[in-house]
Amino acid sequence: MLIESFQNEKIKYVTHLLSDNRFRKKEGVFAVEGKQENERAQKFGFKNQEFYIAENIFNEQLPHGKIHLVSDKVYDKIAYRGTSEGIIGVYKTPETKLEDFKPSENSAVIIVESVEKPGNLGAILRSCEAFGIEALIITDSRVDFFNPNVIRSSVGCLFGMNIFASSNEKVAEFLKQNDFNVYTTFMDESAEPIQNRNFCQKSAIIFGTEHSGLTDFWLGKGLNTIIPMAGSIDSLNLSNAVAICSYEILRQKMK
């Protein structure tokens, strides 16, 4: 049956999932828009509940699972990105715990305090996945990992990454228990350029927020590290800084 009414309860439901973080958490599911994003979600084992598809837009073989066909007009109404691509999937939210993560011998992880912008988190995920970072850990998270903007800006990289939310205290204990070399990113005279650090061993780089940097909690808990710059500004966008450091980790490991 083709859904053509905006007042259909299923349409109200998926619209609510796309727009309300608290509702997603309460329901234990989240919505994914786009072909590539849905393909990655399924590739990495996320359990689909149902799909909303506009056949005139999607024009591909239908995925396996429960499918609701919707009119182009209804899809245009519910889609976060307008009429592009014609598919929205609903998936069960996984339960992930930092204590269940078993880092590899030469693991590299990125830790970011209190990310506030979904687009920034998505960009960070994309860089971490591209450069082989084993896990991304967000402390005191202020962003729902399954916010549509995170999924969109990460181009679905979220689904293939180890990503965890925890507190500073628990993360510090995790790093200690797993023998990580810890690198902080305070801007002071003690900082050494990233290329002078050895990231070939088990390493964790910790970043602070866009507006205030790392909190004092991390003072004295790692070797201070900076990205060399030749211009007049003294900082980079957070996602750019993570991308540069992630690439340096990969560059050293590929030597």
**Beta-bridge partner residues of 92:** 29
Largest CA distance in the chain: 67
Per-residue pLDDT, 38 = 96
The answer to whether the CB of 75 falls within 8 A of the CB of 58 is: no
pLDDT at 23 over 90: yes
Residue 207 CA to residue 53 CA, distance in Å, equals: 40
How much of the chain, in percent, has pLDDT values that exceed 70?
Answer: 99
CA 102 → CA 71, 94, 109, 177, distances in Å?
Answer: 46, 17, 12, 11
Per-residue pLDDT, 142 = 87
pLDDT at 219 over 80: yes
Per-residue pLDDT, 119 = 93
For residue 115 the two structure tokens come to: 């990310």
pLDDT tens for each residue of 35-72:
999 999 999 999 999 999 999 999 888 999 999 999 99
Per-residue pLDDT, 107 = 97
pLDDT at 83 over 70: no
Rg (the chain; Cα; Å): 20
pLDDT tens for each residue of 181-196:
999 999 888 899 999 9
Per-residue pLDDT, 82 = 63
pLDDT at 92 over 70: yes
- 235: Cα within 13 Å, side-chain hemisphere: 15
pLDDT tens for each residue of 142-162:
899 999 999 999 999 999 999
pLDDT at 235 over 80: no
Backbone angles phi, psi at 205, to 5 degrees: -110, 135
Per-residue pLDDT, 188 = 84
**Beta-bridge partner residues of 29:** 92
Q: What domains are defined for the chain?
A: 9-92 (3.30.1330.30), 98-254 (3.40.1280.10)
Quote the mean pLDDT of the chain. 94
pTM for the full predicted model: 0.92
Residue 103 CA to residue 220 CA, distance in Å, equals: 23
Confidence bin at 101 (pLDDT 50/70/90):
very high
- 210: Cα within 13 Å, side-chain hemisphere: 12
